[in-house]
Amino acid sequence: MQLNRPNKVVIGCLDGRRLKGYVSNLSATHDHFRLFPAENSLHQAGTDVEFKAIKAIFFVKDFEGNREHKDDYDANAKGHGRKLEVTFRDGERITGMTEWYHSQNPGFFLFPADPESNNIRVFIVNGNVQQVKFL
């Protein structure tokens, strides 16, 4: 059994770029985290990414996803927490559920309202959010 297996992520940057790779031991108490190019990369192969430069970390099922699929908001979606819609400063919106949100924290996890989403969960960086609306 492998403990602390790296997570497959796509990073949404403020400048519009999308970075793909792996993270482990993500902590919002730091001002950055390390992104690795492969699941078993050595520490020196990673790149530091600063939270202030990104809007979200998308924990994904696969890197390609389905470009044709647009996540739908399912008002009857089952899950824990409060339903909300997040609007980023660039206008991108995402809906889902969160078990814990507070605007003064560095960020929070959002779980997609669409079960067909490629996203497993999303870490939203509060400092780069325009609006959070509870549904």
Give me the residue spans of the domains in the chain.
7-134
Task: Supply 60's token pair.
Answer: 């994904």
φ, ψ for residue 128 (rounded to 5)?
Answer: -115, 25
Sequence-ordered list of residues with C-beta below 8 angstroms from that of 98, at least 6 positions apart, any chain: 81, 82, 84, 108, 109, 110, 111
* pLDDT above 90: residue 116: no
Q: Which is more confidently placed, 79 or 35?
A: 35
Sequence-ordered list of residues with C-beta below 8 angstroms from that of 48, at least 6 positions apart, any chain: 32, 33, 34, 35
Q: For 31-73, write each residue's pLDDT tens digit.
A: 899 999 998 888 888 999 999 999 999 999 998 866 675 666 6
* pLDDT above 60: residue 2: no
Q: Determine the Cα–Cα distance for residues 51 and 32; give it in Å rounded to an integer.
A: 5
